[in-house]
Structures are given as C-alpha cells and as structure tokens.
Amino acid sequence: MVDSIYRTRSLGVAAVGLPDQYADGKAARVWQRYIGDTKSRTEEYRSWVVSLLKQQGCKLVLDVACGTGVDSIMLLEEGFKVVSVDASDKMLKYALKERWERRKEPAFDNWVIEEANWLTLADDVQKPGQGFDAVICLGNSFAHLPDFKGDQADQKLALQNIASMVRPGGILIIDHRNYDHILDTGKAPRGKNIYYQTDLKQDIDTSVLWVNNRPTMVTLDYSLEIPQPDGSQNAPDT
C-alpha cells in the first residue's frame, strides 16, 4: 500500500490560487453523472490515448486535471501507474470513492490522488526523479483556467509548471475544443473524433461574447435531464 493516498491543502475550499468552480458540489455531481462512467469513453478515444502512451513507452502518468477520475481510472485499467490531481475537492471525492471501492485491486491500491493546482504544481506534486513519463490534461480542462489578468500570464505559468513535470523525452498531452473555429463561426465544429457518449437528454448552447466588436469569449451552457431512481425526470440541471 502506498504511504500517501490523498493529500489536501484546504478545509473544503479550493486550493490556494485557483477558484473552485465546483465548490457547491452540484456541478461536480452533474459532471460525474454526465461523463463520469469510464464506459462512456468511446473506443476511438481510449485507443488514441492508450496507444499513444504505449508507443512512447510510458508507465508513470500524471493526470493534472483528473476531475472525478474518469481518465485516470481508464489508464489504471490499462495497466498504467497514475498520480491524479485536481484543484476541486468536490470533484476528487468521486475519484476517492472509486479508489476505495476497488482498493483490493493492486493498481487502485497504489493510486495516489492529491489536491493541487497548476499555478503551484511544482510545490504541490512531488516529481519522481526526472519527471513523469507522461502528463495529461484531457477533457477540455485547460480552458477552465480563467484569464483574470487579461494577459494570459496564468495560462503561461500553468503550462510551464505542467511541462516541468514531464521527464526528458516524455510526452505532454493537452486536448481542448477548437475555440478559434467557434470564435470565427459562432458554433462548434462537427468533428469526427467523439470522446464520450451519454444516454442523458442534453442540450448544449454555444455562445460567443463580443467585446469592442471583437469575439472574445466562448460560453457553453449544458442542460441535462437526470433521471431519478424511479425513472422519472428531474427538471434540467444547468
């Protein structure tokens, strides 16, 4: 069993320096229900991530935006050793629950989950030797870092910190939506690569905020109808 399973830096609030967009717990619950099941990951997506890591000989992976743990769990099931971090303790509780329920499996017994954020990553995460074989930031997660200063200084610092965790010759995988296309056209592209599937009734509204006659910000509003245990439908969660 590992010496440290979970390390928190807060008392139910976000890690220092990064606002917790899931602090009330509601969004984390909806997100877990929406794409929290590893079975929701398409075979195309799983094959892409796993084959890329295996081709590069990766064994130890740092998931810097693990959320509820869905991608980390997928990699654990594929035989990788994973360290998972997120800035939201509300999101991490779902990963911790999965770890506990599967603790008799060696991969899950050795799964390390920590509360951390990208702005202080070097202080929050102990880098093994020269670094991790691979660092992943999946699920459009990087776009959730606000640009409060307006100069992308936090984004640059976050990228620098994330990249510093990769060993020489290792790989860094960051995926996100094509926001340039959305800003130019006002709608999301019809891509061929689908990374999750869900049976929930959903409605996703894509909007572009214009400032001084320039497209500046993209907002995505999700409305989901989550069934109750008796099969009835709740009013949509947004």
Q: Which residues are the active-site residues?
A: 22, 139, 144, 177, 196
What are residue 24's phi and psi, to 5 degrees?
-80, -5
Residue spans of alpha helices (H) in the chain:
26-35, 43-55, 70-77, 89-101, 106-109, 121-124, 153-163, 179-185
Name the binding residues: 22, 31, 41, 65, 86, 117-118, 138
- Report the distance separating Cα 66 and Cα 208, nearest Å: 27
Asked whether 28 and 91 are in contact (CB, 8 A), the reply is: yes
Identity of the amino acid at 224? L
Name the binding residues for S-adenosyl-L-methionine: 22, 31, 41, 65, 86, 117-118, 138
Fill in the DSSP letter of residue 196: B
Identity of the amino acid at 93? K
Phi-psi region of 186 (alpha: psi -120 to 50; beta: other; left: phi over 0): left
Place of tokens 């409060």: 148
